[in-house]
Amino acid sequence: MKKLTRILWLSFALAVVVPTVPMFVTGCKTQSTQTVAYNSLATVGQTVNSAYSAYIDLVIKKSVSTNQVESISRAYNTFQQGFSVAVAAARFSLTNAAPVDLQAQANNLIIQISAAK
């Protein structure tokens, strides 16, 4: 349970908080490489995969209820489809920034996982 909580908070920080900090500090300038790294396809994909994997581990260990498995798995599969399209559109460069709608899907999935614990 602690592992899932840590992953979810890290995911939230990476996906929501960190990318917005430079905008407030520097205004609406071009994103730095550091900011893009936080928004990269690789980071978003790894964050979602880690959160989902930790959630499924808890389900298998019967540490959390199975009531939300179907809806969370459906959201994860939808994210994976969007992720595949985004990676193909980026010409398989995982360092490219993740599209805003993909980041939103990732955030929603992480929120669902967090609520299910």
Q: Tens of pLDDT along 18-51? A: 444 444 444 555 555 544 446 799 999 999 999 9
Q: What value does the mean pLDDT take over residues 82-107?
A: 93
Query: For the ranges 15-24, 81-90, 93-102, which has the lowest average pLDDT?
Result: 15-24
Within 10 A of 60 (CB to CB), how many other CB atoms are there? 10
Specify the pTM. Answer: 0.69
pLDDT band at residue 2, thresholds of 50, 70 and 90? low
41 in Cβ contact with 89 (< 8 Å): no
Of residues 42, 15, 35, 5, the one with CA closest to residue 107: 15
Specify the DSSP class assigned to residue 65.
-
Helices (H), the chain: 2-12, 18-26, 33-38, 41-60, 69-89, 100-116
